């Protein structure tokens, strides 16, 4: 890690905005001044300019009981109305909202008028099924227009969605449904992935199956979209087909306004313990910052741009920059169901060419994957429509940044490296295209209206040229409002560390360069970042020890050329198991086991069977040393180990 970091700071390439770009840019340097002069007033202006309020707010921020913030609390709005009806009422009903492409090559264009109609019908279906404001609805769908319609219909009736990534297992789905107490699940028979139908409904059936443990199931209905046309089992009375229910429902639905702090969604993310946290977001502040960042960071001109964010709606990027930000802004966007490699490498560039994509937002892991395949593939397509490129999910190394700009952006597009988190709800740190001179590898500066700092353990500003911890020093509109069902964990996880200063602790290390620009250095806790997705070491360890063969397990994130980090597990087997089975093939079995238990993204790259784990005298596993082994480095200082010989034993077993 440290050699990589040193390398970062020798990066001296700079890219100033072109005068042509700056002349047409949505954002100007004045935004910084306005926000600095009156931060709360600035956010109040954004909320008024970007959204329709059924009842105007009189107070911007209520921070009287930190860390529980209220934004625009006495205002009322309907989130779905803001994303749909108001664009139709303004005469833009014929504008395309979604340019959808299925993996097999089928496609649909959905206008704002059509999407509004679909969401109104679905809202009526939800009401018929007994869904009321505050109820939870789980969404487990592929990337199809119905996924977006589902989120908006839930929001329209004031209920709370919990989208679960389609790649998660039945067990992961079950624990999320249980934690949220969902009354309804919206799913599909299956969706396309890598040329095949990947079934979803069977996982829902499995998640909802009675396990004879007396657990009370909260789910009353399952609404099923027909997409994969695969055979599915049917539970009469519980299951309904989307196409039957939605087409039979009336198309009239008047959106009722809800208070700005009405919960909008729960999204589960990995923390430092084995149990995922249900991050809670609410309506008015969230939608304000989603729309504001989407417009200014991507320089959105809704009449002419074709925007494409490649994230799945199962992650926060899909919530804020596929569903809420773009639709609140009346954008036209591409939605693609499948994988970048199907039917052959270059599919993404075919899509950019076919739809004339102008703004592309994706992750460094994808860019590094394309770099490996070589520049010939993108160069065979016409990518000249692209004018802004975005990156998110993990630090982007300068080489990948420059490749992205040169090969994909034709050497001319501004690149915005956007730092944020599930918890922050929207982008916090990023260059503004047309305004900021960009630096490959640095996320650079907080957005106008956002206050961050890099501090030491005592909350002291570290000063330029130094590293420390990234904190947010003032509340922001799209901040999480809590962890579902666990206010104490919310306070402890994010606020306790710098409680007397009232700083939000993000869990990321960062450094300020000579200009005061921010360079993100990765997580400082036991959270891994694999292909821009967050995974917890504790969650994977508890899955490993749930296998009958495992006595003990330790998991680390080891650096990986393509995925950023990769999951590497060290496992001690049970004597009793070994006497009966022997260790052959077990490493692979354990990899598959984790994949089934949590989901394929959590499957370890390597599983090493070892005799011991490095522990301190107090019994804490020293993951730092295991990371050295996993990354093939000289093992670091072992003096605090209870048994200093253990590392040479492990190193020998791994080789
Ligand atoms: C963690 C949040 C934000 C949506 C996708 C991930 C890392 C995110 C960057 C960036 C360096 C980044 C951080 C953060 N991260 N963006 N531009 N540069 N690191 O959301 O799953 O909540 O993960 O991703 O470590 O804490 P998430």
The complex's ipTM works out to 0.99
Report, as an integer, the average pLDDT of 433-440: 97
Instruction: Decide whether any atom of ligand 1 lies within 6 Å of the 520 Cβ.
Output: yes
User: 402 alpha carbon to ligand 1 midpoint, in Å?
Assistant: 20
Does the global pTM surpass 0.90?
Answer: yes
Q: Is 614 annotated as a binding residue?
A: no
DSSP state of 641: B
For residue 391, which atom of ligand 1 is closest to its CA? 17
Report, as an integer, the average pLDDT of 148-152: 99
Report, as an integer, the average pLDDT of 362-386: 95
Pull the structure tokens for residue 349: 């560039």
User: 422 alpha carbon to ligand 1 midpoint, in Å?
Assistant: 8
User: 95 alpha carbon to ligand 1 midpoint, in Å?
Assistant: 32
Give the model's confidence band at 4: pLDDT under 50 very low, under 70 low, under 90 confident, else very high: low
Report, as an integer, the average pLDDT of 418-436: 98
User: 363 alpha carbon to ligand 1 midpoint, in Å?
Assistant: 10
Pull the structure tokens for residue 92: 């833009």
Report, as an integer, the average pLDDT of 398-414: 96
Residue nearest to atom 8 of ligand 1 (CA): 393
The confidence score (pLDDT) of residue 280 equals: 98
Q: Is 417 annotated as a binding residue?
A: yes
Pull the structure tokens for residue 353: 């060419």
Query: pLDDT at residue 250 above 60?
Result: yes
Give the model's confidence band at 6: pLDDT under 50 very low, under 70 low, under 90 confident, else very high: low
Residue 36 CA, distance from chain mean position? 29
Instruction: Decide whether any atom of ligand 1 lies within 6 Å of the 537 Cβ.
Output: no
Give the model's confidence band at 155: pLDDT under 50 very low, under 70 low, under 90 confident, else very high: very high
The confidence score (pLDDT) of residue 645 equals: 87
Query: pLDDT at residue 1 above 50?
Result: no
User: 427 alpha carbon to ligand 1 midpoint, in Å?
Assistant: 10
pLDDT mean across residues, the chain: 95
Residue nearest to atom 5 of ligand 1 (CA): 393
Kindly calculate the radius of gyration of the chain based on its CA atoms and give it in whole angstroms: 24
Q: What is the pLDDT of residues 459-510, one digit of tens each?
A: 999 999 999 999 999 999 999 999 999 999 999 999 999 999 999 999 999 9
Q: Is 86 annotated as a binding residue?
A: no
The confidence score (pLDDT) of residue 3 equals: 47
Q: Is 547 annotated as a binding residue?
A: yes
Instruction: Decide whether any atom of ligand 1 lies within 6 Å of the 531 Cβ.
Output: no
Give me the percent of the chain exceeding a pLDDT of 90.
86
Of 23-37, 305-319, 428-442, 546-560, the poorest mean pLDDT is in 546-560
Q: Is 523 annotated as a binding residue?
A: yes
- As a whole number of angstroms, the distance between CA 99 and CA 113 comes to 14
CA angle 183, 188, 189 (to 5 degrees): 125
Q: What is the pLDDT of residues 161-185, one digit of tens each?
A: 999 999 999 999 999 999 999 999 9
Residue nearest to atom 24 of ligand 1 (CA): 393
The confidence score (pLDDT) of residue 352 equals: 98
Residue nearest to atom 18 of ligand 1 (CA): 395
Q: How far is CA 383 from CA 102, 136, 359, 361, in A?
A: 21, 42, 11, 14
Domains of the chain (ranges, CATH numbers) = 10-506 (3.40.50.12780), 531-654 (3.30.300.30)
Beta-carbon contacts of residue 105 (< 8 Å; ≥ 6 apart):
none
Instruction: Decide whether any atom of ligand 1 lies within 6 Å of the 96 Cβ.
Output: no
Query: pLDDT at residue 2 above 80?
Result: no
The confidence score (pLDDT) of residue 582 equals: 84
Report, as an integer, the average pLDDT of 244-260: 98
The confidence score (pLDDT) of residue 9 equals: 65
Report, as an integer, the average pLDDT of 362-385: 95
User: 520 alpha carbon to ligand 1 midpoint, in Å?
Assistant: 9
Instruction: Decide whether any atom of ligand 1 lies within 6 Å of the 365 Cβ.
Output: no
For residue 423, which atom of ligand 1 is closest to its CA? 22
DSSP letters for 240-263: EEHHHHHHHS-S--PPPPEETTSE
Whether 116 contacts 84, CB under 8 Å: yes
User: 410 alpha carbon to ligand 1 midpoint, in Å?
Assistant: 26
Whether 445 contacts 518, CB under 8 Å: yes
Instruction: Burial-class residue 538 by CB neighbours within 10 Å (0-12, 13-18, 19+).
Output: middle
Strands 467-472 and 518-523: unpaired
What values do phi and psi take at 32, rounded to 5?
-65, -40
Pull the structure tokens for residue 46: 């954004």
The confidence score (pLDDT) of residue 274 equals: 77
């Amino acid at each position: 890690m440290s050699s990589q970091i040193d390398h970062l700071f020798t990066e001296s390439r700079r890219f100033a905005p072109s005068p042509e770009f700056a002349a047409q840019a949505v954002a100007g340097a004045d935004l910084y001044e306005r926000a600095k002069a009156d931060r709360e007033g600035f956010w109040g202006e954004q909320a008024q300019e970007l959204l329709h309020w059924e009842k105007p707010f009189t107070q911007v921020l209520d921070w009287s009981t930190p860390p529980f913030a209220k934004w625009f609390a006495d205002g009322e709005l309907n989130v779905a109305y803001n994303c749909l009806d108001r664009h139709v009422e303004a005469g833009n009903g014929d504008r395309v909202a979604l340019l959808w492409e299925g993996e097999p090559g089928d496609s649909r264009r959905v206008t704002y008028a059509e999407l509004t109609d679909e969401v109104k019908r679905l809202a009526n279906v939800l009401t018929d099924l007994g869904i009321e404001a505050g109820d939870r609805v789980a969404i487990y769908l592929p990337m199809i227009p119905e996924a977006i319609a589902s989120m908006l219909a839930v929001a329209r009736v004031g209920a709370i969605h919990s989208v679960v990534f389609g790649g998660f297992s039945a067990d992961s789905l079950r624990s999320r449904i249980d934690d949220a107490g969902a009354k309804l699940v919206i799913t599909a028979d299956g969706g396309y992935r890598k040329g095949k139908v990947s079934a979803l409904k069977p996982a829902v059936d499995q998640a909802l199956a009675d396990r004879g443990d007396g657990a009370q199931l909260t789910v009353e209905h399952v609404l099923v979209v027909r997409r994969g046309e695969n055979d599915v089992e049917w539970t009469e009375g519980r299951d309904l087909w989307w196409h039957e229910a939605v087409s039979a429902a009336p198309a009239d639905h008047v959106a009722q306004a809800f208070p700005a702090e009405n919960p909008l969604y729960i999204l589960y993310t990995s923390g430092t313990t084995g149990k995922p946290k249900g991050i809670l977001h609410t309506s008015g502040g969230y939608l304000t910052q989603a729309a504001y960042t989407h417009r200014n960071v991507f320089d959105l001109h809704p009449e002419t741009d074709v925007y494409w964010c490649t994230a799945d709606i199962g992650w926060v990027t899909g919530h804020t920059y596929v569903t809420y930000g773009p639709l609140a802004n009346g954008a036209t966007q591409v939605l693609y169901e499948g994988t970048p490699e199907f039917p052959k490498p270059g599919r993404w560039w075919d899509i950019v060419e076919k739809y004339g994509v102008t703004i592309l937002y994706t992750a460094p892991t994808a860019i590094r994957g394309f770099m490996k395949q070589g520049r010939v593939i993108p160069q065979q397509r016409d990518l000249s429509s692209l004018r802004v490129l975005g990156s998110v999910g993990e630090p982007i190394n300068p080489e990948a940044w420059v490749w992205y700009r040169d090969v994909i952006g034709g050497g001319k597009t501004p690149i915005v490296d956007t730092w944020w988190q599930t918890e922050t709800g929207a982008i916090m740190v990023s260059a503004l295209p047309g305004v900021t001179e960009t630096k490959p590898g640095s996320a650079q500066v907080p957005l106008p209206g956002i206050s961050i700092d890099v501090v030491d353990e005592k909350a002291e500003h570290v000063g330029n040229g130094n590293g420390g911890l990234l904190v947010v020093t003032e509340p922001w509109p799209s901040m999480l409002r809590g962890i579902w069902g666990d206010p104490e964990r919310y306070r402890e996880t994010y606020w306790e560390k710098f409680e007397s200063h009232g700083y939000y602790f993000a869990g990321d290390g960062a450094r300020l360069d000579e200009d005061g620009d921010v360079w993100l250095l990765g997580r400082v806790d036991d959270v891994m970042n694999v292909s821009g997705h967050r995974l917890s070491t504790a969650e994977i360890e508890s899955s490993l020890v749930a296998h009958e063969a495992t006595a003990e397990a330790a998991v680390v994130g080891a650096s990986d050329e393509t995925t950023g980090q990769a999951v590497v597990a060290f496992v001690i087997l049970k004597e009793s198991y070994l006497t009966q089975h022997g260790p052959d093939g077990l490493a692979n079995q354990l990899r598959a086991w984790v994949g089934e238990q949590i989901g394929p993204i959590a499957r370890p790259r390597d599983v090493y069977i070892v005799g011991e784990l490095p522990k301190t005298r107090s019994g804490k596993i020293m993951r730092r040393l295991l990371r050295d082994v996993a990354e093939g480095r000289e093992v670091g200082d072992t003096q605090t180990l209870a048994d200093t010989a253990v590392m040479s034993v492990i190193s020998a077993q791994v080789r």
